[in-house]
Amino acid sequence: MQVEDARQRILSSAKAIFLEMGYKRTTIRQIVRHSGLMIGSIYHFFQNKEDIFQQLFSDIFDRCDELIRRRYGEDADPPLRLALMCATMLQAADLDENICELYGELLSLHGTAEQHTQHFADWLRTNLHESLAGQSDSEIFARALAITGVLRGMLANFCYRKRLPLSDSIRVMSESAFAILAIPPERAATVTIHLPGLQNDIISIARELIAP
């Protein structure tokens, strides 16, 4: 078996078990059993369960962007891609309460939250370099952290008795991200206006991301 195939089998198995059992109830042995690999294989690629969890969500993040670029083209407007990624995360959480729980765990664990925020900051630096020109790494990380905080709040609202409509959560999430990044209002409004008409695409991408 190729090295990358073994790594991917571990991540696919972890995804299935995390979705079924949740993060806290999942064990390394369960992931090993599901993958059909030896336990030593897992420790060749990952330090522990938290490391698997963080890498899985980094891969899901990248996969989400890949699916969006595939639908809208490699030259799709970066703010549109960002808004669609945020919308897809919220849509996935709405489709499956286990996803909502897993997102919450990701953003609550100090190690995974920091690494996820850094991964997001790297994406912002690469894809929104015009808007973030002249900003230091720490400034971009701070903006990524702020956007992640808004996402965490929106996910928490899924558990409230007075829950916001998903469409409102998506709109406010996008508006907040654009404000944090200082995207020009006219450019931000163009994206926000079009989001409701892209709902079927958002659902389709979300379903593909959470599929076993």
Q: Check if the beta carbon of residue 52 is closer than 8 Å to that of residue 14.
A: yes
pLDDT reported for residue 201:
96
Task: Report DSSP state, residue 182.
Answer: T
d(CA 166, CA 150): 14
pLDDT reported for residue 109:
86
Residue 9 has which token pair?
Answer: 């089998």
pLDDT block averages, 10 residues each, the chain of length 212: 76 91 91 86 87 92 95 93 96 90 87 93 94 94 96 88 90 96 94 94 94 78
Query: Is the pTM above the cut of 0.85?
Result: yes
Place of tokens 């008409």: 197
pLDDT reported for residue 186:
94
The DSSP string of 130-180 is TTTTT--HHHHHHHHHHHHHHHHHHHHHTTSSSPPPHHHHHHHHHHHHHHH
Residue type at position 103: Y
d(CA 103, CA 94): 12
pLDDT reported for residue 116:
93
pLDDT reported for residue 176:
97
pLDDT reported for residue 4:
66
pLDDT reported for residue 157:
87
The DSSP string of 73-111 is -TT--HHHHHHHHHHHHHHHHHH-HHHHHHHHHHHHSHH
Residue 23 burial class via C-beta count within 10 angstroms: exposed 0-12, middle 13-18, buried 19 and up: buried
Q: Is the dihedral of CA 166, 167, 172, 175 positive or negative?
A: positive
